[in-house]
């Protein structure tokens, strides 16, 4: 069966700095990246007729972003689901293009989380506002975001015998790839990493405990950053300058605490089968897995839920360095270095799409030879609590 070629990524750009020192703001990062991504594709601002924004540049920025870009698009999508926002938006852009509502979609992200000293994942969730319907049962207890992930990790260990050493393999693979990415290496130094090098399992499990059982090197960094992705229709693709990367399938889902719910199961268990089924591919055919890596347990859980291995077998699955780009067995994981070792400005989903695109173009700094299929899965909210997941399957020209 021929694969769907209704929309393709034709332009990408990643903001190079991980620490901007207050010299630019989030909107300026978004605009800079958008201009570069459009230029790469051989397109102009006037070609854009669809804007997708997650409100990352401040209150109601999704309302004002069209004015800031001086664009009056036919489609305005302000979907904001945390780290999964941009996978949701890519799926929406594909549908909007296929329906004829637009031809050129622009997704942008900008954040100065590092410069603003945001305590992403560490601040207590205690609210001084009146109770709300979404978190009134959890806010009073002051559980941090990293604490929520730690609960999921401890449950996985109890339920399946997963070890800290197995989780550490994910951080080791991320750093292995980051050390081949000059932007990641420079970024680690820019935000104050003292010992920038490849790491071992022992390094990870010997690093400081943050929220038992998660260690320092199992937690994403906090950086500045941003990027842009341009998605276009087939008729536009014919005249663009880059090799198209087609969106073959997508899936969307949410997860939340319920009586009897399993902390080790994420929304990917629902969104993954949708995306793979629509694309007509199996997980074992995927060359590149770009998976949201806020913490190592995030990756392990999502690998299982996407079907790369059975639930509870993730620990054994990631052993032996199989996630590295130059090892057999694959898939290669987060080949730009991921949120663990390249950048994490707060909502990292756009970077997953960008690195998957590089791989399928043959342009990654940790290039998998002959890469043909990639998956990008964004996770937003809290694993083990209220969260969203969106899965995008990508492929090059057949």
**Domain boundaries in the chain?**
8-116+222-395
- pLDDT band for position 263 (cuts 50, 70, 90): confident
Q: Quick one: how far is CA 54 from the chain centroid? A: 14
196-224 per-position pLDDT tens digit: 999 999 999 999 999 999 999 999 999 99
Q: How many CA atoms does the CB half-sphere of 77 hold within 13 Å?
A: 26
Q: H-type helices in 328-394, by residue range?
A: 338-341, 349-361
Query: Which pLDDT score, from 0 to 100, does residue 331 have?
Result: 97
Query: Which pLDDT score, from 0 to 100, does residue 398 have?
Result: 67
What letter does residue 295 receive in the DSSP assignment? B
Residue 70 CA: distances (Å) to CA of 26, 78, 377: 17, 17, 31
- What global pTM score does this model have? 0.95
Residue 141 has pLDDT above 80, yes or no: no
Classified by CATH at the fold level, domain 8-116+222-395 comes out as Peroxisomal Thiolase; Chain A, domain 1 (3.40.47)
CB neighbourhood size of 278 (10 A): 17
Q: What is the mean pLDDT of residues 305-332?
A: 96
Query: Which pLDDT score, from 0 to 100, does residue 385 have?
Result: 82
Query: Which pLDDT score, from 0 to 100, does residue 122 have?
Result: 53
Query: Which pLDDT score, from 0 to 100, does residue 119 have?
Result: 60
Q: Report the chain's mean pLDDT, rounded to a whole number.
A: 93
Q: Which residue has the higher pLDDT, 127 or 23?
A: 23
The 3-state DSSP composition of the chain as helix, strand, coil percent (nearest 5) reads 40, 20, 45
Query: Which pLDDT score, from 0 to 100, does residue 30 have?
Result: 97
Going by C-alpha positions, the residue among 196, 122, 209, 199 that lies closest to residue 164 is 209
Task: Determine contact, residues 317/286, Cβ cutoff 8 Å.
Answer: no
Query: Which pLDDT score, from 0 to 100, does residue 121 have?
Result: 55
- pLDDT band for position 256 (cuts 50, 70, 90): confident
Query: Which pLDDT score, from 0 to 100, does residue 283 have?
Result: 98
Residue 374 has pLDDT above 90, yes or no: yes
Q: What is the mean pLDDT of residues 264-292?
A: 97
24-58 per-position pLDDT tens digit: 999 999 999 999 999 999 999 999 999 999 999 88
Query: Which pLDDT score, from 0 to 100, does residue 397 have?
Result: 79
- pLDDT band for position 145 (cuts 50, 70, 90): confident
- CA 74, CA 118: separation in Å to the nearest integer? 35
Residue 78 has pLDDT above 70, yes or no: yes
Going by C-alpha positions, the residue among 56, 75, 386, 373 that lies closest to residue 233 is 75
């Amino acid at each position: 069966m021929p694969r769907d070629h209704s929309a393709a990524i034709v332009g990408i750009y990643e903001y190079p700095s991980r620490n901007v020192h207050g010299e630019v703001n989030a909107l300026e990062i978004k605009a800079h990246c958008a201009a570069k991504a459009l230029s790469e594709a051989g397109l102009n601002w006037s070609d854009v007729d669809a804007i997708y924004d997650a409100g990352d540049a401040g209150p109601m920025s999704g309302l004002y972003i069209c004015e800031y870009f001086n664009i009056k698009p036919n489609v305005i999508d302000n979907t904001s689901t945390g780290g999964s926002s941009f996978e949701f938006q890519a799926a929406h852009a594909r549908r909007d293009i296929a329906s004829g509502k637009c031809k050129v979609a622009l997704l942008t992200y900008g954040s100065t989380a590092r410069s603003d000293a945001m305590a992403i994942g560490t601040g207590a969730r205690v609210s001084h506002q009146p109770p709300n319907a979404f978190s009134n049962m959890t806010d009073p207890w002051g559980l941090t975001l990293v604490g929520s992930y730690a609960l999921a990790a401890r449950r996985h260990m109890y339920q399946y015998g997963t070890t800290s050493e197995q989780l550490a393999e994910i951080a080791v693979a991320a750093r292995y790839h980051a050390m081949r990415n000059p932007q990641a290496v420079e970024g680690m130094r820019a935000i104050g990493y003292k010992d920038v090098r490849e790491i071992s399992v022992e390094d990870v499990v010997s690093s400081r405990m943050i929220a038992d059982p998660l260690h320092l090197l199992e937690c994403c960094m906090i950086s500045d950053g941003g990027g842009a992705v341009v998605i276009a229709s087939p008729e536009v693709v014919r005249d663009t300058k880059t090799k198209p990367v087609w969106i073959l399938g997508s899936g969307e889902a949410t997860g939340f605490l319920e009586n009897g719910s399993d902390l080790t199961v994420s929304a990917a268990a629902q969104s993954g089968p949708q995306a793979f089924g629509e694309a007509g591919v199996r997980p074992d055919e995927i060359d590149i897995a770009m998976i949201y890596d806020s913490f190592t347990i995030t990756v392990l859980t999502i690998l299982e839920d996407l079907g790369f291995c059975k639930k509870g077998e993730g620990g054994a699955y990631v052993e032996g360095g199989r996630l590295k780009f130059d090892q057999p067995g694959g898939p290669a994981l987060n080949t730009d270095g991921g949120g663990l070792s390249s950048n994490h400005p707060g909502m990292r989903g756009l970077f997953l799409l960008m690195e998957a695109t590089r791989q399928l173009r043959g342009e990654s700094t940790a290039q998998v030879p002959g890469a043909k299929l990639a998956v990008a899965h964004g996770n937003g909210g809290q694993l083990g609590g209220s969260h969203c997941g969106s899965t995008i399957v990508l492929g090059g020209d057949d």
